Structure 1
Amino acid sequence: MQDDRTLSTARTLPFSPEAIYAAFASGSVLASWWGPDGFTNSFDTFDFVPGGKWLFTMHGPDGKNYANTSYFAALEPAVRIVIRHDCAPYFTLTVGLSPVEGGTLLTWEQAFDDAETAHAVKAIVGSANEQNLDRLTRALGRA
């Protein structure tokens, strides 16, 4: 944890910032990799513009469905994606993309609205975010 409410990870991916940004910008590509291992997604609304809504359901490997309401708070092509998760647990995800030798340094900062929630989900979210990045890497490798 970076502070009492922000969970962070970073990874260098062997892809350009443009390719990674495109994996967020395409609803069909994003649906193929978003979430931890075993999850699938159904997107109801995907408006990839600043302020655009993203309404979707994550289908868990346990058969449960998890409705999500988000919006794209800020989008800077090939630089930064800010997603506001507007249902419990409330958080803002900032994905940074910086070109480095051999690819892109991707930073993933999930700032929860309160420290209590951040600490309650820390054990689950940390490994889930790493799985999410693994899935992103595999999706980009297939492209």
Structure 2
Amino acid sequence: MTISPVAKTVRIERTYATTPEHVWRLWTTGAGIESWWAPDGFTVEVGKLDLRPGGDLVYTMTATAPEQIAFMESHGMPLSTESRKKFVEVSEPRTLSYTSLADFIPGVEPYDFLTVVEIQPSGDGVHVVMTMDAMHDEEWTQRLTAGRGNEMDNLGRVINVV
């Protein structure tokens, strides 16, 4: 994971033993997203998926593990939050980008931040690079980085099981 101090972006990279098409399906279908998207201790349920530039992804993330429930409660956050993403680029099976609405942080005005996912063949597998805008402060940027890194690890576990 790399946090760029100049551009204020976070970059996470993983290589998986699979095809770009398989990674694309896991990232762009309701069942695929629900199988890995949530960080440990949370579940995700997709409510809307309109995979095209300008289309929306709407899902509900729910804390299910005791540690995550305690964290959410101690920060005055609900156990379930609806999240919204708007697709910017959809270039199957290589590039997916979307803005995320950060409207769940107590005391912070809602704002959008961009994520770009690049899926490239690499040797016997696929190299995935996720680049995200940093959030409003260092603490939340670190939380974003840890959560997305965990999600990328979960994606790897799903790929290895399928």
TM-score by length of 1: 0.88
Partner residue, 1:104: 126
Q: Identity percentage over the alignment?
A: 20
Can you give the 5+ residue segments of structure 2 that lack an aligned partner in the other structure? 70-77, 104-110
Unaligned runs of 5+ in 1: none
Q: Which is higher, the Rg of structure 1 or of structure 2?
A: 2
What does the per-residue CA deviation read over 1:5-49, in whole Å, with 9 as the maximum and x for residues that have no partner?
211111111111111011112111111211211110122211122
Counterpart in 1 of 2:21?
18
Asked if the contact 1:5/1:118 (under 8 Å) is kept, the reply is no
Paired with 1:42 and 1:33, the residues of 2 have a C-alpha distance of 11
How far 1:50 sits from its partner (Å)?
2.1
Aligned to 1:94: 116
1:109 and 1:10 map into 2 onto residues whose CA distance is 9
Q: Secondary structure at the match of 1:72?
A: strand
Superposition RMSD in Å: 1.8
Instruction: Measure how far apart 1:122 and its partner are.
Output: 2.4
Q: Deviations over 1:90-125 (max 9, x none)?
A: 21110001111121110010114x6xx152312212
Letter in 2 for 1:41: V
The 3-state SS of whatever aligns with 1:42 is: strand
Mapped contact 1:54–1:70 kept (Cα < 8 A): yes
Aligned: 1:125 with 2:144: yes
Q: What secondary structure is seen at the aligned counterpart in 2 of 1:35?
A: coil
CA distance in 1, matches of 2:93, 2:37: 18
- Point out 4+ residue stretches in structure 1 off by more than 3 angstroms: none
Task: Report what 1:77 is aligned to.
Answer: 92
* Paired residue secondary structure (1:86): strand
Structure 2 letter corresponding to 1:24: W
- Say which is worse superposed, 125-134 or 87-96, in terms of deviation: 87-96
Q: Given that residues 38 and 60 in structure 1 are in contact (C-alpha distance below 8 angstroms), is that contact kept between their aligned partners in structure 2?
A: yes
Is the Cα contact below 8 Å between 1:5 and 1:119 reproduced in 2?
no
Equivalent position amino acid for 2:143 in 1? I
